[in-house]
Amino acid sequence: MRTLRTVTELRTAVRAARRQDPAGVIGLVPTMGALHDGHVQLIREARLACEHVVVSLFVNPAQFDAASDLAAYPRDEQSDAGQASEAGADFLFAPSLETVYPDGFATSVQLSGPLVETLEGAHRGAAHFHGVTTVVTKLFNMVQPDVAFFGRKDAQQVLVVSKLVEDLDLPIRIEAVDTVREPDGLARSSRNVRLSADDRPKALALRAGLLAAEAAFAAGERDAQNVHAVAVQAMTDLGVAPEYLALVHPRTLAPVTTIDGGTLVVVAAHVGGVRLIDNTTLGPDPSGRR
């Protein structure tokens, strides 16, 4: 695996790969580093589906709502490079802050509407997604991949990026990859390392809420309010109040009152000082996953 720092180095490498293998598919796995098994799974899927795999590593200040969260974000490029290489990446693109946002940078790529204004957008501010869509557009233009891989744990981000690609006619396929979990069910996240030993068991409250929703649905409950109530109860039983827990349409994120098709259950909560998110789907997934 080669590590590339500048757009010129990246373009030269990707161009050479395309010249050697004109039919070869270029896959991009965008990351902010602090790689864990969830990222490794994205890279492995990219390796299986693509001839050339680029992993980008850039902690994007524009998508952090709190300076303290940005400062606390774990960084370990050496470990990230080792994991990316082992999972099958050909190139690690690790640009500097100045490469991505040079002095005088003045452009923002922004979606509007419920996809960016509800749930994460309502609680973190829509600016979070504006930061994501701006950097993702830049990474797409820099790498010019055929396919890009994103984790389903960030379900709203997958919808936002898919809409960006659709609206701007970007010739890139978005692949969503299933959430990877710790053995006890906690969704893998770069933030998990910040959970204290005391808070770690409490972090299971998000999964407990989602499992309670799944169990209620499996038992025949179709009223979203009732499913919501049992899910919140399962969380509060573990001492965690959700920042939000919502049953929404899996494409539009519109609130659902009766679960009669696939329904996305999304949850966010602060455990100790760490903000975690997770989700599950009740009923048939519109992506045909189950």
Binding ligand PAF (rule: CB under 6 A), the pick from 41, 60, 133, 279 is: 60
Amino acid letter, residue 152: R
Binding to ligand PAF by residue 281, rule CB under 6 A? no
Distance CA 258, CA 267 (A): 18
Binding to ligand PAF by residue 83, rule CB under 6 A? no
DSSP secondary structure string for all residues of 67-132: HHHHHHS---HHHHHHHHHHHT-SEEE---HHHHS-TT--------SHHHHSTHHHHH-THHHHHH
Binding to ligand PAF by residue 32, rule CB under 6 A? yes
Q: Which two tokens stand for residue 207?
A: 């999964």
Q: Which stretch binds ligand PAF (CB under 6 A): 30-38, 90-98, 166-174, 259-267?
A: 30-38
Q: What is the side-by-side strand order in the sheet with 173-177?
A: 2-4, 91-93, 52-57, 26-31, 147-151, 173-177
> Do residues 105 and 69 make contact, with C-beta atoms less than 8 angstroms apart?
no
First to last CA, the chain: 35
Could you tell me which residues are beta bridge partners of residue 149?
175
A 10 A CB-CB count for 177 gives: 20
Q: Which stretch binds ligand PAF (CB under 6 A): 25-33, 206-214, 219-227, 268-276?
A: 25-33
Q: Which stretch binds ligand PAF (CB under 6 A): 78-86, 129-137, 231-239, 252-260?
A: 129-137
Binding to ligand PAF by residue 132, rule CB under 6 A? yes
Q: Which stretch binds ligand PAF (CB under 6 A): 24-32, 65-73, 104-112, 166-174?
A: 24-32
Could you tell me which residues are beta bridge partners of residue 168?
none
Question: From the CB of 190, what's the least distance to ligand PAF, in Å?
Answer: 8
Q: Which of residues 191-230 bind ligand PAF (CB under 6 A)?
A: none
Binding ligand PAF (rule: CB under 6 A), the pick from 90, 120, 146, 154 is: 154
Between 52 and 130, name the residue whose CB sits nearer to ligand PAF. Answer: 130
Residues designated as active site = 39
Binding to ligand PAF by residue 31, rule CB under 6 A? yes
Across the chain, which distance is largest between two alpha carbons, in Å? 58
Binding to ligand PAF by residue 135, rule CB under 6 A? yes
Give contact residues for ligand PAF (rule: CB under 6 A). 30-32, 60, 63, 132, 135-136, 154, 157
